[in-house]
A and B are shown apart, each in its own frame.
Chain A
């Protein structure tokens, strides 16, 4: 049974369509990441689900309960939905205990015990309960915000770029902690982010959003290796595109014959390769290429390569291990690991 069903939701601000017929179904207990460039409408979608905005058209249904039917909506404060924003939105005039207990009834039995449990759940020291939000680090504030939302045992948790205000080093560890907590609690989660790396590692279902529409949904692996269009391919990571001729088995391009699923198509098409698929060697097999430039990036090297193919010149960037990298001006042989992906015809 699907838990959250969004069907045909549209929302306009003046002349711009923030959401344009968005439909999405979310399974219970799953972690969905909505990813897209800024201005793509992903935060608006989250606000519609939370009940802070009313859609112009379309419905939102949670656990069989209608939450929005066009402009008629259920008020945000009566929805069993938790919400965590970029900066946590902790109440600055309340201490941590006051923040955590904000959604709990005042006369709730075992209130103190609940607060301690919540702190332990998000891996924070219960001694912090008497502190004020500004005395906590950004990562700690974010965990308190999560615990505060969890206190009401929501059926659905919405995370609006909750890690983007954190330092790079901290971001990874907070993200893992949050994923752990949510998995333990078994709460369906929707994460909105513009960071594709975050989306790929956090979610078990990915929805790519562009200009108010869902361009593609599916598992992270599926979307990374088999995107339906060039924009999605490039949004989720670096992509190298080649014109190719479709043959009976596989495709043929400047890199020679490559394995690819053609699905019975024929004629010409565009294939996508990820930079990490390239393998360079000094003596073949593969196609001859010249190293034009090289950027050392620690574990990996970005190598700018040039293939001269009859009268055309093709330039692309490959990602290779930085152990014994080639030098600028070297001639190397390029081969491909795995198979190429033939992008669907437009």
Chain B
């Protein structure tokens, strides 16, 4: 084959590169960041507006102290057992030769598919007298354990076995190796997972309202429903945000500057599994007991209610309508969140830097805010500034976008990172113009990440209760709000099909998260 020089006789036009795309993205991302600062701005604004004296009077009450004690007790009772169980479960499923480890690791993640308030519905309808702190602790551990298990198990698999071998060769017994080498390396995963669980404990409404355990979030909604947007609710929201910030700060302190990375090159070889010997089969008791409590109890309750009432519960007209509404909200929320997160995701992959990191944290922080705070902020802003938008679909979607922006961002970033800039350059050097490069290279490769981001947001929206209760137009019925209305009337049988539908909608998310945690290890 001969290759002739392709001499183009016509002159190529020279143009200045103005990096229009980059600038447009920066502008858009800044706009989104400004919007995302709205809830924080709301807290600052009401603090200033209420004034020092009134704020103090509203906050310095026995009632607030009571809520604070409740919240602290809940955190302190839930986190230690959750951490212990997560580490034990992760060790059994990842590092021991327990039979059925793979299946049991799925079972450990599966409770994610059961929305927290459905979990507590299952327990309360089985044990109607189940109330207070013990109930709150048990249900919280069951509902939120996967948030700790997932990162700890992932980290456990990622550990370099060479370190453990080195410790053993330095004369440490297996138990001491675990304490001195393995456990310290789990610190980041434990801290991250605990923060996530802790924030959920602060933000959750349905779970605690159902078993009548008062937290800041339940108190805010009671307050809001009785006095509508009074300064008292706003002040409680302020204290709640402070609690969240305190939690984040605590996690930051505990995590320290530690970064545990492998030194050296090459992929680590998978760690060998420890032989449990005679404990092989008894070891299964722990994961199975947890699965029975977190999955078996909801399954038992739901099937009980469904069987008791037969087919009639499925024939409620409201069921189909609220499913349709939920799907519509989920789709709209997913599209909106992904569209809004796109500029930021693009910037953080293609133009990382200090400004990008700042914008990114503006995008991410609302994920740490309780839905009730986001909702209150939007209520206040719409009522005072843009009344026509109050209790409209647009406002609900905006709340979803703010709450689930971090989820969208994570998925999109991963998707765009699938397309290294070298591939776009390769396409350019092969004669494709930027638009055709986008179509032929960037989009096909980023599509899985975009789809995952949309799915995660959609499934979050599908089971969202708090913000929907506060913001949705009157008469709106989603699966979550309708389920909530029925359980408030103690009509547990009619509520069951709603719970089943919500679990079904959450299953793909659970599978997705589990798969992602596995894949990140192979990468």
A residues at B contact (CB < 8 Å): 50-52, 54, 63, 65-69, 71-83, 85, 87, 89, 91-93, 102-103, 117-118, 121, 145, 148-155, 185-187
A-B contact pairs, 10 of them (CB 8 A): A51-B428, A63-B7, A66-B12, A72-B16, A73-B15, A75-B15, A79-B12, A91-B445, A148-B426, A150-B3
Q: Kindly identify which residue among A68, A69, A89, A118 contacts B426, using a CB–CB cutoff of 8 Å.
A: A89
Bound CA–CA A52/B434 (angstroms): 12
Given A63-B5, A89-B423, A155-B5: A82 and B14 interface contact (C-beta under 8 Å):
no
Q: Kindly identify which residue among A54, A118, A185 contacts B16, using a CB–CB cutoff of 8 Å.
A: A54
Q: Which 10 A-B pairs have the closest CB atoms?
A: A103-B430, A74-B12, A83-B429, A72-B14, A76-B428, A185-B3, A89-B426, A89-B422, A77-B428, A153-B3
Taking CB atoms, residues of chain A closer than 8 Å to B440 are: 102
Bound CA–CA A152/B431 (angstroms): 8
Taking CB atoms, residues of chain A closer than 8 Å to B5 are: 63, 80, 153, 155
B522 CB within 8 Å of chain A: no
Q: Kindly identify which residue among A75, A80, A93, A186 contacts B6, using a CB–CB cutoff of 8 Å.
A: A80
Taking CB atoms, residues of chain A closer than 8 Å to B11 are: 65-66
Secondary structure at chain B's binding surface: helix, strand, loop or mixed? Answer: loop
Taking CB atoms, residues of chain B closer than 8 Å to A153 are: 3-6
A54:B429 contact, CB within 8 angstroms: no
A91:B426 contact, CB within 8 angstroms: yes
B429:A149 contact, CB within 8 angstroms: yes
Bound CA–CA A270/B420 (angstroms): 48
A37: min CB distance to chain B, Å: 20
B6:A152 contact, CB within 8 angstroms: yes
Bound CA–CA A151/B6 (angstroms): 11
B6:A73 contact, CB within 8 angstroms: no
A75:B433 contact, CB within 8 angstroms: yes
Given A54-B17, A153-B4: A78 and B431 interface contact (C-beta under 8 Å):
yes
A83:B425 contact, CB within 8 angstroms: yes
Bound CA–CA A54/B15 (angstroms): 10
Q: Kindly identify which residue among A68, A117, A149 contacts B1, using a CB–CB cutoff of 8 Å.
A: A117
B430:A89 contact, CB within 8 angstroms: no
Give the residue among A66, A81, A85 with the most B Cβ atoms within 10 A: A85
A187:B3 contact, CB within 8 angstroms: yes
Name B412-448 residues within 8 Å CB distance of A: 420, 422-423, 425-434, 437, 440-441, 444-445
Bound CA–CA A57/B341 (angstroms): 37
B428:A121 contact, CB within 8 angstroms: no
Residue of A with least CB distance to B443: A93
Taking CB atoms, residues of chain B closer than 8 Å to A154 are: 6
B12:A77 contact, CB within 8 angstroms: no
A74:B4 contact, CB within 8 angstroms: no
Given A80-B8, A152-B431: A93 and B1 interface contact (C-beta under 8 Å):
no
- Given known contacts A54-B17, A77-B431, what 19 new A-B pairs fall within 8 Å (CB)? A63-B5, A65-B8, A71-B16, A72-B15, A73-B14, A74-B15, A76-B429, A77-B432, A77-B437, A78-B431, A89-B420, A89-B423, A102-B430, A103-B430, A103-B432, A149-B430, A151-B430, A152-B430, A186-B3
